[in-house]
Copies of this chain bind each other. A is one copy, B any other.
């Protein structure tokens, strides 16, 4: 092709996109077929509303989701160490530090040196931290209970099994479920 220099796509260009790859696509990806988008989209929208319930409360305290996650697991497993918390949250020590600093400074959480190993800083909620955690959980539980209002115990089993199967790749999650008895088959 001779007139290349007149075009906006020079023969030798930094962008390796071929004309074929640039070709416009007008057909929508169908909802189900070889790929099924139903659960993908249900999950996306559902989780957004689920976190939104807590977000609006956290806003009043000047906190974000990261604070919520720390508060949650410290309240669900008081006395856990920093290392254990990092393992559950799957974040780095540096990511945790600022968030935890705020929660400590504002007396939602406190640290206690470990009994056997005094290097550890075991984390406990204060009454204030407990109260906020309960408030946040109640908000999320309201949505869950409303969504499950017409669900029989029978129908609860596949729902829990699905979520558990989605979650159980990571050892830290599997261990949490086992330790806290997160199941339906035997507990209800």
What is the interface of chain A mostly: helix, strand, loop, or mixed? helix
CB-defined interface of A83-127 with B at 8 Å, one 1/0 digit per residue? 000000010000000000000001100101000000000001111
* Closest CB in chain B relative to A14 CB, distance in Å: 11
- Are A126's CB and B40's CB within 8 A? no
- Are A124's CB and B48's CB within 8 A? no
- Are B162's CB and A148's CB within 8 A? yes
CB-defined interface of A27-50 with B at 8 Å, one 1/0 digit per residue? 111011001111111111111111
Q: Of B21, B29, B106, B156, which contacts A133 at CB under 8 A?
A: B29
- Are B24's CB and A166's CB within 8 A? no
- Asked whether A155 is an interface residue with its Cβ less than 8 Å from the other chain, the reply is yes
Q: How far is the CA of A167 from the CA of B49 in the complex (A)?
A: 6
- Asked whether A11 is an interface residue with its Cβ less than 8 Å from the other chain, the reply is no
Which partner residue on chain B sits nearest A53 by CB separation? B169
* Closest CB in chain B relative to A69 CB, distance in Å: 8
Q: Of B22, B41, B141, which contacts A182 at CB under 8 A?
A: B41
Q: Hey, which chain B residues are within 8 Å of A112, CB to CB? A: 24
- Are B28's CB and A176's CB within 8 A? no
- Are A134's CB and B29's CB within 8 A? yes
Knowing A35-B141, A107-B17, A158-B155 are in contact, say whether A146-B165 is a contact too (CB < 8 A). Answer: yes
Given A22-B127, A25-B126, A45-B170, 8 further pairs, Cβ under 8 A:
A17-B107, A21-B126, A24-B126, A27-B78, A29-B75, A29-B133, A40-B141, A43-B163
